[in-house]
Amino acid sequence: MTWDNTNLFADDKPADLAFRKEVREWMEKNVPLDLCHRPDRLTPADLKPWHRKLYDKGWVAPHWSKESGGMGATLTQQIILFEEMARLGVPTPFPHGLNFFGPILIEAGTPEQKAQHLPSILTGDCTWCQGYSESEAGSDLASLQATAVLKGDHFIVNGHKLWTTNGHHADWMFALVRTDPQAQPRHAGITMLLIDLKSPGITIEPIQTMRGDAEFAQEHFDNVRVPVKNMIGKINEGWKIANMVLGSERFTTGHPRNAAVLLNRTRMMAEISGAIVDPIFRHQLAQLEMDLLAFSAFYHHAAELHALGKAPMSMAPVIKISGGEIGQKASELLMHASGPIGLLRDNLQTPEGLVNIPADLFEMRRLTVGSGAVEIQRNVIAKRVLELGA
């Protein structure tokens, strides 16, 4: 019996099987081969033609309702689309417009805002970034200090935003800003604004990551005028709005396949380096494969409960912590298994295509920090699930 760690406990119903077949056939004909299995970081511009192709097929926004221009897909169908793209190693479109902001706009935007922004998110013509973090507001996001002061029909925005993925590539930012400095609790004084990044007064600097490329950026706002019509929801309701859509994207960003790919690469590199004959290495690999199996079981169990509307609150932090930490350990074992060749900075040509072991190692570091550090996720479980507190 063969062991396929990318497909553990997957169990399609007959209708889903038909959908998977359709997706697989289409993907095999249509994925852009030059984007597949790329070890370097791709920009929104690189992905635009692929984004557009998925849009033309009607599959770019599976989780959006049909009225909003999406596919109205079930969670299982969303997962199938992700899995079939991952199988071929083609990237999924950037999530900031489609997954993070789009659902907020659909839920809380005015008809004018929707008409202005939904179509260009769908086609990929407009690139979005998320303006939440600041230098003094990371894990403690509610302490953010960028201000917006209402002057007639405009807000005047001052301050800065940091760690903004694609900030230097984006056209628009959905940002959380402080509109009431005195508000208690602090999150009651926060508003969500949509900022056209071509507005006067904005400077944007890309930031190099430890991987050696610019994934994120910082933005300075100096008396930037933002029309009131670009506010989402009401003033001082930004915190509630930012938290209202906690959605199914956990099921793609947290898919166990991400770690499976790294473990399979680890196995391949161990065969090249010779580490595969080391019983201690094999034991370490087995431990991670077993963790991945358990995580896959949790993932499919969670998806089934989510589809029934019964997923518990703990689901999202558990997926975030487990998926992130298994992926990290896999990237560390990959480096270990590769031996001296793993230390080389340039891409390696392997039987499985180009790989870059340091890039994998460094890329995984962000999984346990970005969008809520795992320590904060553990605090959330301690307080809200285990009822431990002061």
Partner 1 sequence: MEPILNDLQTQLRDSAKRLCKDFGGAAVYRQRQQQGVTNAWQQVMQAGWTGLLVSEEHNGLGLGLYELALILDEAGQQLWHEPVAATCAGAYVLSKTKQSHHLKQVLEAGLMVLPVCVDVEDTYNNMQSAPVLQKSGDHWMLNGLVRFITFVNLESLLLISAIDEQGRRALVSLSAQAMGVLLTCHARLDDSLVSDIEFEDVKIQSQDILAWDDGAIQLIDDMQTILRVGISAQLLGLSHAALQMTLEHLRTRKQFGKPLSSFQALQHQCVNGYIDIELNRSLLYRTSMAWDKHQSHPAMMSALKARTSRSALAITRSAVQLHGAMGYTHEHNIGLYYKQAVVWAADQGNDVYHAQRFSALTLNAEPLA
Contact between 36 and 87 under an 8 Å Cβ cutoff? The reply is no
Pattern 26-65, partner 1, x by CB under 8 A? ----------------------------------------
Query: How far apart, in whole angstroms, are the C-alpha atoms of residue 310 and residue 259?
Result: 26
- By beta-carbon proximity to partner 1, the closer residue of 190 and 330 is 330
State the maximum Cα–Cα separation within the chain, in Å, rounded to a whole number: 72
Q: Nearest to residue 194, comparing CAs of 126, 245, 130, 112?
A: 130
Q: Nearest to residue 163, comparing CAs of 199, 184, 138, 144?
A: 138
Which of 57, 66, 151, 378 binds partner 1 (CB under 8 A)? It is 378
Tell me if 181 contacts partner 1 by CB under 8 A: no
Tell me if 139 contacts partner 1 by CB under 8 A: no
Options 37-45, 157-165, 225-233, 310-318: segment touching partner 1 (CB under 8 A): 310-318
Answer positive or negative: Cα dihedral of 281, 337, 296, 100.
positive
- By beta-carbon proximity to partner 1, the closer residue of 229 and 310 is 310
- By beta-carbon proximity to partner 1, the closer residue of 99 and 284 is 284
- By beta-carbon proximity to partner 1, the closer residue of 180 and 304 is 304
Q: For residue 215, what are its two tokens?
A: 């994934």
- Note every long-range contact of 379-388, with CB atoms under 8 Å and residues 24 or more positions apart, other chains counting: 380/317, 381/314, 381/317, 381/318, 384/313, 384/314, 385/312, 385/313, 385/314
Tell me if 385 contacts partner 1 by CB under 8 A: yes
Restricted to residues 253-292, the positions that interact with partner 1 (CB under 8 A) are 267, 270-271, 274, 276-277, 282-283, 285-287, 289-291
Helices 279-307 + 315-338 axis angle, to 10: 160
Contact between 317 and 380 under an 8 Å Cβ cutoff? The reply is yes
* Residues at the interface with partner 1 (CB under 8 A): 1-3, 5, 9, 11, 267, 270-271, 274, 276-277, 282-283, 285-287, 289-291, 293-295, 297-298, 300-302, 304-305, 308, 310-312, 314-315, 318, 321-322, 375, 378-379, 381-382, 385-390
